[in-house]
Structure 1
Amino acid sequence: MKNEKKTVDRRDFLRKAGLGAVGAGATLATPLVGSAQADSENVDEKLKARYRQTDHVNTYYRVNRYPG
Protein backbone atom coordinates (compact mmCIF):
# COMPACT_ATOMS: atom_id res chain seq x y z
CA MET A 1 0.00 0.00 0.00
CA LYS A 2 1.07 3.46 -0.76
CA ASN A 3 0.80 6.26 1.80
CA GLU A 4 -0.47 9.27 -0.09
CA LYS A 5 -0.87 12.58 1.64
CA LYS A 6 -3.52 14.91 0.38
CA THR A 7 -1.98 18.36 0.32
CA VAL A 8 -3.20 21.56 -1.19
CA ASP A 9 -0.86 23.18 -3.64
CA ARG A 10 -0.04 26.79 -2.79
CA ARG A 11 -1.33 28.04 -6.14
CA ASP A 12 -4.58 26.14 -5.74
CA PHE A 13 -5.01 27.53 -2.25
CA LEU A 14 -4.46 31.13 -3.40
CA ARG A 15 -6.77 30.63 -6.36
CA LYS A 16 -9.56 29.29 -4.15
CA ALA A 17 -9.02 31.97 -1.52
CA GLY A 18 -9.23 34.66 -4.21
CA LEU A 19 -12.47 33.27 -5.59
CA GLY A 20 -13.92 33.15 -2.09
CA ALA A 21 -13.00 36.78 -1.49
CA VAL A 22 -14.58 37.84 -4.78
CA GLY A 23 -17.77 35.96 -3.94
CA ALA A 24 -17.93 37.47 -0.47
CA GLY A 25 -17.35 40.94 -1.86
CA ALA A 26 -20.13 40.53 -4.39
CA THR A 27 -22.64 39.51 -1.76
CA LEU A 28 -21.67 42.40 0.51
CA ALA A 29 -21.89 44.99 -2.25
CA THR A 30 -25.31 43.94 -3.50
CA PRO A 31 -27.43 45.49 -0.70
CA LEU A 32 -25.59 48.81 -1.06
CA VAL A 33 -27.16 49.49 -4.43
CA GLY A 34 -30.15 51.78 -4.04
CA SER A 35 -32.08 54.45 -5.79
CA ALA A 36 -30.54 57.90 -6.22
CA GLN A 37 -32.13 60.81 -4.40
CA ALA A 38 -32.06 64.48 -5.28
CA ASP A 39 -30.47 67.06 -2.99
CA SER A 40 -33.00 68.16 -0.38
CA GLU A 41 -31.42 71.51 0.55
CA ASN A 42 -32.76 74.70 -0.91
CA VAL A 43 -30.57 77.64 -1.98
CA ASP A 44 -30.75 79.44 1.40
CA GLU A 45 -29.63 76.32 3.28
CA LYS A 46 -26.73 75.82 0.89
CA LEU A 47 -25.48 79.40 1.37
CA LYS A 48 -25.70 79.57 5.16
CA ALA A 49 -22.51 79.69 7.20
CA ARG A 50 -21.60 76.27 8.58
CA TYR A 51 -18.10 76.79 9.92
CA ARG A 52 -17.86 78.12 13.44
CA GLN A 53 -14.56 78.73 15.16
CA THR A 54 -15.30 77.31 18.60
CA ASP A 55 -13.02 76.61 21.55
CA HIS A 56 -12.21 73.07 20.48
CA VAL A 57 -11.36 74.28 16.95
CA ASN A 58 -9.04 76.93 18.40
CA THR A 59 -7.41 74.28 20.60
CA TYR A 60 -6.85 72.08 17.55
CA TYR A 61 -5.22 74.97 15.70
CA ARG A 62 -3.02 75.81 18.71
CA VAL A 63 -1.91 72.21 19.30
CA ASN A 64 -1.06 71.67 15.65
CA ARG A 65 0.69 75.06 15.40
CA TYR A 66 -1.44 76.56 12.66
CA PRO A 67 -0.82 80.27 12.15
CA GLY A 68 -3.69 82.25 13.42
Structure 2
Amino acid sequence: MHTIDRSSFGRRQFLRALGAGAAVAATLPLAPEAKADSESTDEKRKSRYKESDHVKAYYRVNRYPS
Protein backbone atom coordinates (compact mmCIF):
# COMPACT_ATOMS: atom_id res chain seq x y z
CA MET A 1 0.00 0.00 0.00
CA HIS A 2 1.23 3.46 -0.86
CA THR A 3 1.57 5.84 2.08
CA ILE A 4 1.65 9.60 1.81
CA ASP A 5 4.65 11.32 3.29
CA ARG A 6 3.11 14.26 5.16
CA SER A 7 6.20 16.41 4.80
CA SER A 8 6.09 16.26 0.97
CA PHE A 9 2.34 16.83 0.73
CA GLY A 10 2.45 20.60 0.32
CA ARG A 11 0.09 23.35 -0.54
CA ARG A 12 0.30 22.78 -4.29
CA GLN A 13 -0.55 19.10 -4.02
CA PHE A 14 -3.45 19.94 -1.72
CA LEU A 15 -4.84 22.54 -4.13
CA ARG A 16 -4.36 20.18 -7.08
CA ALA A 17 -6.30 17.45 -5.25
CA LEU A 18 -8.98 19.96 -4.27
CA GLY A 19 -9.36 21.06 -7.90
CA ALA A 20 -9.62 17.48 -9.11
CA GLY A 21 -12.30 16.78 -6.51
CA ALA A 22 -14.26 19.84 -7.57
CA ALA A 23 -14.12 18.74 -11.21
CA VAL A 24 -15.48 15.32 -10.31
CA ALA A 25 -18.20 16.84 -8.13
CA ALA A 26 -19.26 19.16 -10.96
CA THR A 27 -19.96 16.21 -13.25
CA LEU A 28 -22.27 14.44 -10.77
CA PRO A 29 -26.00 15.10 -11.20
CA LEU A 30 -27.51 17.14 -8.38
CA ALA A 31 -31.15 16.17 -8.89
CA PRO A 32 -32.94 13.22 -10.43
CA GLU A 33 -34.35 13.56 -13.91
CA ALA A 34 -37.70 15.29 -14.24
CA LYS A 35 -40.66 13.09 -15.09
CA ALA A 36 -43.77 14.04 -17.02
CA ASP A 37 -47.05 14.51 -15.17
CA SER A 38 -49.13 11.38 -14.88
CA GLU A 39 -52.44 13.26 -14.71
CA SER A 40 -54.76 13.23 -17.67
CA THR A 41 -56.14 16.45 -19.10
CA ASP A 42 -59.48 15.94 -17.33
CA GLU A 43 -57.77 15.39 -13.98
CA LYS A 44 -55.77 18.59 -14.41
CA ARG A 45 -58.93 20.61 -15.04
CA LYS A 46 -61.01 19.27 -12.15
CA SER A 47 -61.85 21.44 -9.18
CA ARG A 48 -59.59 20.94 -6.18
CA TYR A 49 -61.18 23.50 -3.89
CA LYS A 50 -62.74 22.04 -0.76
CA GLU A 51 -64.49 24.14 1.83
CA SER A 52 -63.04 22.53 4.94
CA ASP A 53 -63.40 23.66 8.56
CA HIS A 54 -60.29 25.85 8.49
CA VAL A 55 -61.50 27.58 5.31
CA LYS A 56 -64.88 28.21 6.92
CA ALA A 57 -63.13 29.63 10.01
CA TYR A 58 -61.05 31.93 7.77
CA TYR A 59 -64.19 33.25 6.09
CA ARG A 60 -65.91 33.74 9.47
CA VAL A 61 -62.96 35.56 11.07
CA ASN A 62 -62.50 37.85 8.10
CA ARG A 63 -66.26 38.53 7.89
CA TYR A 64 -66.85 37.26 4.39
CA PRO A 65 -70.54 36.92 3.52
CA SER A 66 -71.79 33.35 3.67
TM interval, shorter chain, is 0.3 to 0.5
TM-score (norm 2): 0.44
Higher helix share: 1
